Amino acid sequence: MRTRVALLLALLAAGCGGSDDNRFYRLVPVTSAAPVAGGSCSAPIAVAAVTVPDAVDRGEIVRASGPDEVDVSNHDRWAAPLSLLIQRTLAQDLQQRLPPGRVLGPDAQATAGGTATVRLGIKRFMADDDGHVTLNTDWTLLNASGGQVFTRTETITVNGDTSYGQISAGMSTAVGVLADRIAAVLAKCPG
């Protein structure tokens, strides 16, 4: 009987100690090779909440492991919700690319004169087994009164590596490329 109790206690202790090897990742702003010079636009821009597919809207990092399969990491996790990481990183990337004051920070309040809004509807954002990251998204510009100015679809592929650290770096780069494309449009002061 003592042997069984000792074995049971050993198994319980072993099961409690295995969670310390989690690694946490975030997306980081990527400096643009060529910041966009833009005219003086009346309404500043904010990045709205981002919609992300349910398959990747989780704490664990997910990558495609086949045409209809995904691999969910047991130990590699996002430091915050992926949708929030994308929203904050895109806002910071746009701030680097456009003139000062043109893009509101992620926590800034809307201005009295109104704020234009960029909305992202992400359809796919993950790496494959080879580490290549694909970002497929629709982005919409809404003017300061909430009217839709236009919607565009962007597909960005970044070559990468299979390690989760490199996958998160590739995802940061993809958001930076998206920021380059959005900034090129916003510099013309549409809407």
In a domain, 114, yes or no: yes
Q: Which domain holds residue 130?
A: 40-186
pLDDT tens digits for range 118-152: 999 999 999 998 989 999 999 999 988 888 888 99
User: What per-residue confidence (pLDDT) applies to 37?
Assistant: 64
Distance from the Cα of residue 73 to its chain's centroid: 17
Residue 29 resides in a domain = no
Query: 20 lies in a domain?
Result: no
Q: What is the pLDDT of residues 43-59, one digit of tens each?
A: 789 999 899 999 898 99
How far is residue 124's CA from residue 67's CA, in Å, rounded to a whole number?
13
Q: Is residue 117 part of a domain?
A: yes
The count of structural domains within the chain is 1
- Residue 93: the pLDDT is 96
- Domain assignment present for residue 157? The answer is yes
Within a domain: residue 73?
A: yes
pLDDT of residue 140: 95
Q: Which residues of 131-161 are buried (b: 16+ CB within 10 A; e: fewer)?
A: bbbbbbbebebbebeeeeeeeeeeebebebe
Under 8 Å CB-to-CB from 95, ≥6 apart: which residues? Answer: 102, 103, 105
- Beta bridge partner(s), residue 47: 118
Q: What is the pTM of this model?
A: 0.85
Consecutive H or E run containing 35: none
Cβ-contact 120, 50 below 8 angstroms: yes
Pairing state between β 116-127 and 45-47: parallel
Instruction: Give residue 115's pLDDT.
Output: 87
Residue 129 near residue 102, CB atoms below 8 Å: no
CATH number at residue 134: 3.40.50.10610
145 part of a folded domain: yes
Which pLDDT value is given to residue 182? 94
Domain assignment of residue 5, yes or no: no
Structure tokens at 142: 């809404």
Under-70 pLDDT residues of the chain: 1-20, 33-42, 109-113, 190-191
Q: How do beta strands 148-158 and 23-25 pair?
A: unpaired
